[in-house]
Structure 1
Amino acid sequence: MPDQPKFPGRPGDWVLYKDNQLIAFNKPAGMPAVPDKKGSPNLLQVAAAYTRHDLFPIHRLDRPVSGVILFGKKPAAQAQVTEQFQARTIEKTYLAIVGERPEQDEDILVHFLREAKGNNAEIVDSSDKTAKRAELRYRYLGSSDRYHLLEVVLVTGRKHQIRAQLGAIGSPIRGDEKYGFKRGNPDRTIDLHAYTLAFDHPISGSRVELQAPLPEEPVWEAFSSLLTSRS
């Protein structure tokens, strides 16, 4: 059997928020959010063992992506927050490290995506009846010696949306060979991080704002001071 990937810290170290309704984790890159065809250890399984409680997925992150992910502890909490995702009242920001700086420092991207072979998404013409409209906003935050940091806000939530859309404008995410980056990261992760998540608590109604610390990797550490100075 191939060696299982090693993730930093323990599940308790990944907890960002918890109460009797919800629990949020900072998912390590490379770990599936939920069970997949490969049967790899996944965050839902690990988190349920940690909490000794059944958990209910609300949203997902791609396996190679890191960052904040939220589970319900009760089906009612899962359903209520899922409705917020569908109503687009959830605020979610991502950070993406790219090799090529976009021509525009800020822009709104609109493409049409459809599922393709190999668990990919592809951009097609708007006339394709199988395609779904994908929209995001991005903003350039700064550069290191070799790479550039973008803040991305999703307007829609399509499969591989950020990856495909940034690839389409010539700014693929570092490590994301599927969407045009020249080489993969050794651990098959990509440098896309779900940075913040804000939602209304299903019981109190108060706004909850979560922020996931950056991965402890040199390429991310090069941008940590930049983010600290902007906060």
Structure 2
Amino acid sequence: MSSCGNNGIDIIFEDNHLLVVKKPVNIPTQKDKSNDSDMLTLLKEDIKKRYNKPGNVYLGLVHRLDRPVGGVMVFAKTSKAASRLSDQVRTRQFKKVYLAVVHGILDKLEGRLENYLLKDTRNNTVSVVKEDTPGGKLAVLDYKVEGIYNGFSLVKVSLHTGRPHQIRVQLANIGHPLYGDQKYGHGVNKPGQQIALWSSEIAFVHPVLKQEMIFSCEPPEVEPWTWFNRV
């Protein structure tokens, strides 16, 4: 059962240790050079108001979503929870599942992609490189096609690594760039289109209660998501 904070952001779950929310598209995860409103600041302000807390509010950033990507995220309300969740991310116990709409019909309905990726920090781009390239890092994901419509595919992606732009780059590399992705699919996408990538599910062990926690949320009811019937 979700609720809504003072800032309009949907709260999926909250206890003394965790805050699970639905990140809207086009909001940075944390403050960047744009100085636009960001998730971390908005949520801290919301907690401060709702609980009438004096002084600074602690909220730990456990994982990130690219600015144009929406969906489920968890933040830590204590430093202990932040540390334990970060350990789960580092040891790949923290599960992340995404939905993506891509151009074209994939040759295989499900499979695994393994590539070495290199980030160009100056241009904020990532490219597929050979295994022995200095700075290249292994990126692994599993995918499954969940729907096909008019030359587009709805793909469910389970990440095994969390490299920058990983899903966008790896799918573009096999000839299936994401709908709306101007950076890795500028030849087939129109300016102004919203990238069709959504954080649909996260799973992890509660940092204190030690129970498995699974949270999910559906993409918005807009194109291209509405092209596919999801049960």
Question: Above 0.5 in TM-score?
Answer: yes
Are residues 1:79 and 2:75 paired? no
Contact between 1:12 and 1:50, CA under 8 Å: does it hold in 2?
A: no
Change (3 A) 1:118 1:57: same
Q: 2 CA distance for matches of 1:119 and 1:196?
A: 26
Q: How far off its partner does 1:93 sit?
A: 0.7
Which amino acid is the alignment partner of residue 45 of structure 1?
T
Tell me the residue number matched to 1:203: 208
Partner of 1:18: 14
- Asked whether 1:167 is paired with 2:163, we answer no
Return the alpha-carbon distance in structure 1 between the equivalents of residues 167 and 101 of structure 2. 12
Aligned-partner Cα distance in 2 for 1:32–1:46: 11
- Structure-2 residue corresponding to 1:227: 230
Aligned residues: 218
* Inter-partner Cα distance in structure 1 for 2:93 and 2:27: 27
2:38 corresponds in structure 1 to: 42
Higher helix share: 1
Amino acid at match of 1:110: E
* Distance in 2 between residues matched to 1:184 and 1:18, nearest whole Å: 39
Residue deviations 1:102-124 (CA, integer Å, cap 9, x gap): 11111111111111242111111
**Taking structure 1 as the reference length, what is the TM-score of the superposition?**
0.89
- 173-182 vs 161-170, greater mean Cα deviation: 173-182
Tell me the distance in 2 between the aligned counterparts of 1:219 and 1:33. 24
CA displacement at 1:49 relative to structure 2: 1.0
Shift of 1:10: 6.3
2:62–2:74 Cα contact (<8 Å) kept: yes
Report the equivalent of 1:183.
189
Structure 2 gaps, min length 5: 49-56
Cα displacement (A) at 1:144: 2.6
Distance in 2 (alpha carbons) for counterparts of 1:213 and 1:148 = 17
RMSD between superposed Cα atoms in Å: 1.8
TM-score normalized by the length of structure 2: 0.89
Q: State the secondary structure of the residue aligned to 1:115.
A: strand
For the pair 1:51 / 2:57, whether they are aligned, the reply is: no
Q: Percent identity?
A: 33
